[in-house]
């Protein structure tokens, strides 16, 4: 009888993990389990099946691992904030970039999102500091300049602490609109404003380059 019960439990778990399980069977989970699955489903790129797999993985992991995950989630909300100077996500305010004595504090690179900083840092050739807008101008989505974190960039420039602003927003309609707006605002203050070059990816063939990218590459040419 005990053995039959064990096999039934195993069968149920296999069924719950299998791809043929309809969405409605979610309600058959114990309440804490469905709650965890529901929370995991809110994460970007995590569907119902992935959420179930993750939830079962957490259930089977050690108490220490599960607690470490919960603590990391709590800490990220409790201890991280935006840098008051550049809006980067940081645990100390001002952030490590804004207080660095070895970085050029007069050269500011403007990006849309905090994650863009890592892409620029990977080059190991930029020694300036950053400014994070947390988005881009998008009239279609009702995002205007006032929804972005632009005012403290103007404050930095106004205070005479900046020689050059490099606009590194994305080469999209929204990124270009943001770049144009920023250049108008900043040139009024009288600071040098530059835009990162757009063009053909390294290692690719110009034969397969679309006309807009080719045009951008031609416009962004430099002296040799
Ligand atoms: Zn900062």
Render pLDDT for 188-222 as a digit per residue (tens, 0 to 9). 888 999 999 988 888 889 899 999 899 989 988 88
Domain residues for the domain of 202 are 89-219
- CA of 16 relative to ligand 1 center, distance in Å: 47
Same domain, 32 and 130: no
Question: Per the structure, how many domains does the chain have?
Answer: 2
**Residue 34 banded pLDDT, cuts 50, 70, 90:** very high
Last residue of some domain: 24, 47, 79? Answer: 79
Task: List the structure tokens of 149.
Answer: 């974190």
- CA of 92 relative to ligand 1 center, distance in Å: 9
- CA of 149 relative to ligand 1 center, distance in Å: 13
Rounded mean pLDDT, 67-73: 96
What CATH number does the domain containing 42 carry?
A: 1.10.8.420
- Residues in Cβ contact with 165 at an 8 Å cutoff, skipping those fewer than 6 apart: 108, 109, 110, 131, 153, 157, 182, 186, 191, 192, 193, 194
- CA of 102 relative to ligand 1 center, distance in Å: 14
- CA of 38 relative to ligand 1 center, distance in Å: 35
Rounded mean pLDDT, 116-122: 95
Comparing 5-19, 23-37, 38-52, 58-72, the range with the smallest average pLDDT is 5-19
- CA of 194 relative to ligand 1 center, distance in Å: 20
Last residue of some domain: 31, 58, 79? Answer: 79
Q: What pLDDT score was predicted for residue 145?
A: 94
What CATH number does the domain containing 106 carry?
A: 3.40.1360.10
Q: What pLDDT score was predicted for residue 3?
A: 46
In this structure, is residue 84 part of a structural domain? no
As a whole number, the mean pLDDT across the chain is: 88
Same domain, 72 and 120: no
- CA of 76 relative to ligand 1 center, distance in Å: 17
- CA of 141 relative to ligand 1 center, distance in Å: 28
Last residue of some domain: 17, 44, 79? Answer: 79
Tell me the per-residue pLDDT of 6-27, one tens digit each, with 9 for 90 and over: 444 544 554 455 444 455 544 6
How would you classify the pairing of strands 89-90 and 81-82? antiparallel
What percent of the chain is modeled with pLDDT above 70?
A: 88
């Amino acid at each position: 009888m005990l053995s039959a019960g064990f096999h039934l439990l195993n069968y149920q778990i296999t069924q719950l993990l299998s791809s043929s399980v309809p969405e409605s069977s979610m309600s058959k989970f114990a309440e804490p389990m469905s709650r965890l699955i529901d929370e995991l489903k809110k994460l970007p790129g995590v569907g119902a099946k992935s959420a179930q797999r993750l939830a079962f993985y957490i259930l089977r992991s050690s108490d220490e691992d599960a607690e470490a995950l919960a603590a990391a989630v709590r800490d990220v909300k409790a201890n991280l904030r935006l840098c008051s100077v550049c809006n980067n996500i940081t645990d100390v305010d001002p952030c490590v970039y804004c207080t660095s004595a070895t970085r050029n504090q007069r050269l500011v690179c403007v990006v849309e999102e905090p994650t863009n900083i890592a892409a620029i840092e990977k080059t190991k050739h930029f020694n300036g500091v950053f400014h994070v807008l947390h988005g881009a101008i998008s009239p279609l989505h009702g995002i205007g300049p006032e929804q972005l974190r632009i005012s403290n960039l103007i404050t930095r420039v106004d205070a005479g602490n900046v020689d050059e602003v490099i606009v590194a927003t994305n080469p999209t309609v929204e990124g270009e609109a943001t770049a144009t707006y920023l250049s108008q605002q900043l040139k009024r203050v009288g600071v040098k404003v530059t835009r990162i070059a757009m063009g053909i990816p390294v290692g690719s063939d110009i034969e397969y380059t679309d006309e807009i990218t080719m045009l951008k590459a031609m416009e962004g040419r430099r002296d040799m």
